[in-house]
Amino acid sequence: MNKYKLKYKPLGSIAVLVEWPKSIEPDILKNISIFRYKIELDMGEYVLENVPAYNSLTVFFDTTKTKYSSVVTDLKEIYESKDQKLITANKIWKIPVCYDEKFGLDLNLISKEKKLTKDKIIALHSEALYDVYFIGFLPGFLYLGGLPQKLEFPRKKRPRLKINEGDVAIAGSQAGVYPRSSPGGWNILGNSPIRFFDPDNFPPCFAVAGDKVKFIPIDLKTHAKIKKEVDSGKYSLDSEIHG
Amino acid sequence: MDNNILILSEGIHTSIQDLGRKGYRSYGVPIAGAMDKYSAILANKLLNNDEKLPVMEITLTGPKILFEDSTLLVITGADMSPKINDEPIKMNVLYEVKTSDVLSFGKLISGTRSYLGVKGGFLTEKKLNSYSFYEGITSQSKVVKGDRLRIENYEAGLELHSSKIKVKSSHFQAKKLEVTKGPEYNRLTKKHREYLFSKQFKIGGLNDRMGYQLKNKFPPIKDQEIITSTTIPGTIQLTPSGKLIIMMRDCPTTGGYPRILQLTDIAINQLAQKKENDMFKFDLESSFDFLGRLVNRFKD
């Protein structure tokens, strides 16, 4: 697993920031996931949380039990150690999305700028298989990699003041879903009726880094029906095991 | 039977906070918690409470609160001229209030955030292992007029120990905030570094629990974005337009701008007591091993 040259930096006095090469790619995602798993096994005693992003892992440690320099030494040793056979049980989540013009606020703009029909945009977006790189920004905001190159589209210069809960969006080469209404600069293609974050569940978010996501197109009627089921707690999200 | 307080008026931004929501950053959940942890912990210590118990954080202007049951209370942090039944009370001193007593606040004398602690703490909803209010996690993000909040039952007649706590004025008037180098510090030129450690910085109008924007216009740097990565309270980001943003307790778990500096936890507490147009300088610390610093502060 020690195939990358990693950088170790302090983040304040409470965490070690481990950095991979500056690139967003599935191979790095996999390497980070394995490292996370090994850290949990070997350093669980004084590591409080280890939090992944695209090309970094932030290891928060218990400052009453250890210090920065010792954590770095241990991390380097673990990264260089031989791999154990890992059993990964990641999932492919099937996320229903309604691309109706009622929700797909930026479909027209993208269609015009990219010279693609709306149907083509929807097909490209829903045929891709996305990697969940990490969850950040807002509780339950999945950062997804794997957007088809043809759909890459820059973030808006002027962010919208309000993006709705469940809005399915793209920015640059990234895809994501807004877990709750918030201001935001991503381009909106549709809306998903499911709940991405629930503080009353454990864990509060169904997906974890390393999982995959597929968007399933649904019509307005189905959107309304699923929304109702979600609100009454009757909906169960479809997934399958991969890897 | 439940003991309660009733909010008669709410103040600019009043919320319930403890020491934060740890362990959920991988789900994108911010830490939240008291902006000035020092004053929040002090309130609990004076009450002989566990330091993790939730307190009420009060920003710039105070609420008016009717006590429907008796309890022991203390106010720490910013001095907003607190009163019980219109009689001025002292900061950092315990008072016993009885049914239908009213706590109110007046003129802001010093600081920005006050903390109201009650004996046994507030019993508001606990979500993901914390009482800290945060939109989308707790059902409300601030305390509003008409709210009835539950507090721990209190047995009247507990002995009031007289406290001799004197909070150092440097906590409210710190001229220098301690920082360490951020992960992207090395992107700064010599000129930028000189600017950072010689200039006075001024707090802008956009300052809240999420972050403080500074008014200074920083000389622009090349390579102005990073691949989205972790931010924590105290992370100082440099935006493409040359603004410095200091992340505070409610900040998102990730960000996309260079993280040039990092405030120490003590400095976050001090900044939480500053407001628009307050000035300070950055003071660069060389060591990252601050083992036990926050704890030591209570001993001196």
Q: For residue A97, what pLDDT is reported?
A: 98
Question: Which tokens sit at B19?
Answer: 């020491």
What does residue B263 show for φ and ψ, rounded to 5 degrees? -70, 145
Inter-chain residue contact B229 with A54, CB threshold 8 Å: yes
pLDDT, residue B160, reads 65
Q: 3-state class of B182 per DSSP? A: coil
Tokens of A140: 């339950």
At residue A242, the pLDDT reads 77
Q: Determine the Cα–Cα distance for residues A12 and B294; give it in Å rounded to an integer.
A: 13
Between CA B211 and CA B232 the distance in angstroms is 11
In chain B, residues with a C-beta closer than 8 Å to the C-beta of A47 are none
Q: Which residues of A touch B237 (CB under 8 A)?
A: none
A177 in reach of chain B (CB within 8 A): no
CB nearest A136 (choices: B128, B137, B254):
B254
Window A:117-176, CB contacts with B under 8 Å: 134-141, 143
Distance from CA of A117 to the nearest CA of B (A): 31
Chain A to chain B Cβ contacts (< 8 Å) = 133
> Rounded mean pLDDT of B110-122?
97
Q: How far apart are CA B78 and CA B97, in angstroms?
A: 21
| Nearest-by-CA chain B residue for A204 | B27
Q: What pLDDT, on the 0 to 100 scale, is given for residue B158?
A: 63
The closest alpha carbon to B19, from B130, B149, B167, B138, belongs to B130
Residue B247 phi/psi, 5-degree rounding, is: -70, 135
Q: Mind telling me how many Å the CA of B62 is from chain A's nearest CA?
A: 28
Nearest-5° Cα angle at A198, A31 to A141: 45
| 3-class secondary structure, B172 | helix
Is B136–A180 a contact, with Cβ atoms under 8 angstroms apart?
yes
Q: What is the DSSP letter of A86?
A: P
Partner residue opposite A49 with nearest CB, options B23, B254, B265 = B23
Residue A13: which of B127, B228, B289 has the nearest Cβ? B289
Q: Please give the Cα distance from B3 to B8 (Å, whole number).
A: 16
Q: Which two tokens stand for residue A27?
A: 């191979």
pLDDT digits (tens, 9 = 90+) for B21-45: 999 999 999 999 999 999 999 999 9
Residue of chain B nearest A25, judged by CA positions: B227
Per-residue pLDDT of chain A (243 residues; tens, 9 = 90+): 678 999 999 999 899 999 999 989 999 999 999 999 999 988 888 999 999 999 999 999 999 999 899 999 999 999 998 766 666 678 999 999 999 999 999 999 999 999 999 999 999 999 999 999 999 989 999 999 999 999 999 988 788 989 999 999 999 999 999 999 988 889 999 999 999 999 999 899 999 999 999 999 999 999 999 999 999 989 989 898 876
Report how far residue B79's alpha carbon sits from residue B93's, in angstroms, rounded to the nearest whole number. Answer: 12
pLDDT, tens digit, 9 for 90 and up, residues B41-96: 999 999 999 999 999 999 999 999 999 999 999 999 999 999 999 999 999 999 99
What integer pLDDT is reported at residue A183 of this predicted model?
A: 87
Query: In this predicted structure, what is the pLDDT of residue B291?
Result: 42
Task: Look at residue A100 in the predicted model and tell me its pLDDT.
Answer: 97
| pLDDT in the model for residue A89 | 75
pLDDT value of position A119:
97
Calculate the CA B228 to chain-centre distance.
Answer: 26
Least confident of A89-98, A225-234, B188-197, B213-222: B213-222
Which amino acid is it at A174?
Q
Residue B292 has pLDDT above 50, yes or no: no
Between B229 and B157, where is the model more confident? B229
pLDDT the model gives residue B293: 47
Closest CA to A192 of A176, A212, A211, A208: A176
For all residues of chain B together, what is the average pLDDT? Answer: 91
- Would the pLDDT of B130 be above 90? yes
Of A9, A51, A199, the CB nearest to B183: A9
User: Residue range B93-120: average pLDDT?
Assistant: 97
Q: Is the pLDDT of residue B165 over 80?
A: no
Q: How confident is the model at residue B11 (pLDDT cuts 50, 70, 90)?
A: very high
Query: Using an 8 Å Cβ cutoff, are B202 and B279 in contact?
Result: yes
Given a contact cutoff of 8 angstroms between Cβ atoms, the answer to whether A62 and A12 are in contact is no
Task: Name the pTM for this structure.
Answer: 0.92
Question: For residue A55, which residues of chain B lie inside 8 Å, CB to CB?
Answer: 227, 229
The residue of A9, A61, A132 whose CB has the most chain B CBs within 10 angstroms, and thus the best one to mutate to test that interface, is A9
